[in-house]
């Protein structure tokens, strides 16, 4: 994997292995900050969070931030950062009725100013069927636009399917 570029975007479907793959970048660099966007609001999500924490171990400092990714990135310092996951963050900002275009542009601007390397994980949600309701279609469309914008500025983009990485850029 070598040295970490300024920005790596890791895409994949649900349970594709993208988080574990992204974690391996930071672990190879000696550890870093795990910037978690999930909110464990029910028992199932609490279990998912615990599974991720157990898998990570002691190399990580966890910061939980469901909405203000830009603020969390600005206060990090020099440690490599893993943001997991952007589509959860997107759903959080949609639920909070925030301006998605503004938030995405602010995130991209902040990432470009980060001193530390950043690895971002996002779901690729546009490969399945067209959702049957307007909110889900809007989410899919917003996620696709967000992923495209981040991929355009990323130094490395990797798509993970069935635990297997495909380097798309970098």
Count of Cβ atoms closer than 10 Å to residue 105 Cβ: 13
Q: Are 138 and 131 in contact (CB under 8 A)?
A: no
Active-site annotation holder among 52, 56, 140, 156 = 52
Angle (deg, nearest 10), helices 134-153 and 86-95: 130
**97: annotated active-site residue:** no
Sheet holding 7-12, edge to edge: 60-64, 32-36, 81-84, 118-123, 7-12, 156-161, 164-169
Catalytic residues: 52
């Amino acid at each position: 994997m070598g040295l970490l570029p300024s920005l790596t975007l890791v895409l994949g479907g649900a349970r594709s292995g993208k988080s574990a793959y992204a974690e391996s970048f930071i672990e190879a660099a000696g550890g870093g900050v795990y910037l978690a966007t999930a909110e464990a609001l029910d028992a199932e999500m609490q279990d998912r969070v615990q599974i991720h924490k157990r898998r990570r171990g002691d190399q990580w400092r966890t910061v939980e931030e469901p909405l203000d990714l830009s603020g969390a990135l600005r206060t990090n310092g020099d440690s490599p950062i893993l943001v997991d996951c952007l589509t959860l963050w997107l759903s959080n900002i949609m639920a909070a009725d925030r301006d998605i275009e503004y938030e995405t542009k602010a995130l991209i601007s902040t990432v470009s100013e980060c001193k530390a390397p950043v690895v971002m994980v996002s779901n690729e949600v546009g490969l399945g069927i067209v959702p049957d309701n307007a909110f889900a279609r809007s989410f899919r469309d917003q996620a696709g636009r967000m992923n495209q914008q981040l991929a355009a500025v990323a130094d490395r983009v990797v798509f993970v399917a069935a635990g297997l990485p495909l380097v798309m850029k970098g």
